[in-house]
Structure 1
Amino acid sequence: MQSPSWLPSLVWTDYRLALLFTVLMPLILLLWAFIAKAETMQSLLVIYWRVSSLLAITVYLLIGALPVGFIAGWVARVLIPVSLWFWADLNEEIKEQPSSRLKLSFVSWRWAVSLYCGLGAIAQIPVLRCALTGTDALLQEPFCRIWLDPPWAFRAMFHPTTKPFFLGFLALVGLAIYVIYLGYFVVVRLGRQGRSATGQ
């Protein structure tokens, strides 16, 4: 399948937006919340970072040209908004906090990243077909191959001497740990805590 001429530009734009909304902004907010001693926002941001670690795993899966990376990336876009809005106690505490620049920035980012991930998950549904191919076919399919370019550029910048296969293997180990932890949370902790992040 021949890819549209505008697709590479769109893919790179998506990765740049992901860097802004899912890495830089939440990192700044976490540091800001820590300095301001805003414990509720700290708690929610820590939860966010745990969940969004799947995005980092996705990058390394795609460096190794592993098709499962497309599924991992899509699932991450679904889980991130869920993790930010699921906790009833944290939502209530944030809502009751007095107005401040930190609260405005945090709430604005939460809506923005949720919208970005939601639209991204919808837009990437056609890309999920790339997860059904083998690695060799993935490299030869122009439509799917385009999505590997940004992760490969990341590797060239930060891991130029490391084999893609090894990085992909480490990502598979990380994905297995992530799935085990998520399964434990859904089966055990969710039943005990419900929608309370503090378990109270």
Structure 2
Amino acid sequence: MQDPVWLRSLIWTDYRLAVLFTVIIPLILLIWAFAQKADAIARLLTIYWRVSSLLAISVYLLMAAIPAGFISGIMARILIPISLWFWVDLNEEIADRPSGPLKLCFNAWRWAISIYTVIGAIATLPFLQCAFSQEALAGSFCRTFLEPPLLFKEYFHPNTQVGFLGFLGYAGLIFYVGCLIYFVFIKLGKQGRSAIPQ
């Protein structure tokens, strides 16, 4: 049985790192890429933001203690590194770009977030039990994982019912899954690993 204090500390550290690696740094890089007219980096970061929106959807689901949020959170951590390395044409353009601060910072972030999300996906696997067992969901182990999303609610949605936030999470998840299915079964067959349709 995990020590609740140790577990709480680990969870809060993970959320703080998530804000840094998945929100603050990529936002700065996106603005920088647009300012430098670095099209390949900007395009890859735009793809990243689309894919990583599943993290935000997961937070809304977890604010309402909806079990699907545990699954979508792990899936987001798996999809993010895939989205950053999948595109052959963008990888080649970025590799061919002359060395400079933007390229260095972008590549450093890309490696760092890939390592962070893979480790995070593995580390959060024990929380999958929260998605499949109401008894586990009601226990302190799963409840500790819900503390950061609930604090997010207090800051940004203090007067909003959790049921409505859960509805927003579900609506976002349905839309996200629909877009993912469309990409996998239709777009991927047409354009392959090229981010720019031929």
- Which TM-score tier does this pair reach, normalised by the shorter chain? over 0.9
Structure 2, unmatched stretches of 5+, are: none
Please tell me whether the aligned partners of residues 71 and 131 of structure 1 are also in contact (alpha carbons under 8 angstroms).
Answer: yes
Provide the residue aligned with 1:104 in structure 2. 104
Provide the residue aligned with 2:168 in structure 1. 170
Provide the residue aligned with 1:17 in structure 2. 17
Deviation >3 Å, runs of 4+:
1-4
Provide the residue aligned with 2:45 in structure 1. 45
Q: Percent identity?
A: 61
**TM superposition shift of 1:199:** 1.8
Count of residues paired in the alignment: 198
In structure 2, C-alpha distance between the alignment counterparts of 1:19 and 1:133, rounded to whole Å: 28
**Is residue 2:151 matched to residue 1:153?**
yes
Provide the residue aligned with 1:6 in structure 2. 6
Provide the residue aligned with 2:59 in structure 1. 59
In structure 2, C-alpha distance between the alignment counterparts of 1:2 and 1:31, rounded to whole Å: 41
**TM superposition shift of 1:137:** 5.3
Provide the residue aligned with 2:179 in structure 1. 181
Provide the residue aligned with 1:195 in structure 2. 193
Provide the residue aligned with 1:85 in structure 2. 85
In structure 2, C-alpha distance between the alignment counterparts of 1:178 and 1:28, rounded to whole Å: 24
In structure 2, C-alpha distance between the alignment counterparts of 1:10 and 1:41, rounded to whole Å: 32
Find the residue that maps to 2:5 and give its secondary structure: coil
- How big is the alpha-carbon RMSD for the aligned residues of Structure 1 and Structure 2? 1.1
**TM superposition shift of 1:163:** 0.6
Find the residue that maps to 1:6 and give its secondary structure: helix
Find the residue that maps to 1:5 and give its secondary structure: helix
In structure 2, C-alpha distance between the alignment counterparts of 1:165 and 1:142, rounded to whole Å: 22
Q: Scaled by the length of structure 1, what TM-score is found?
A: 0.96
Q: Scaled by the length of structure 2, what TM-score is found?
A: 0.97
Find the residue that maps to 1:37 and give its secondary structure: coil
Structure 1, unmatched stretches of 5+, are: none
AA in 1 matched with 2:110: R
In structure 2, C-alpha distance between the alignment counterparts of 1:174 and 1:98, rounded to whole Å: 39
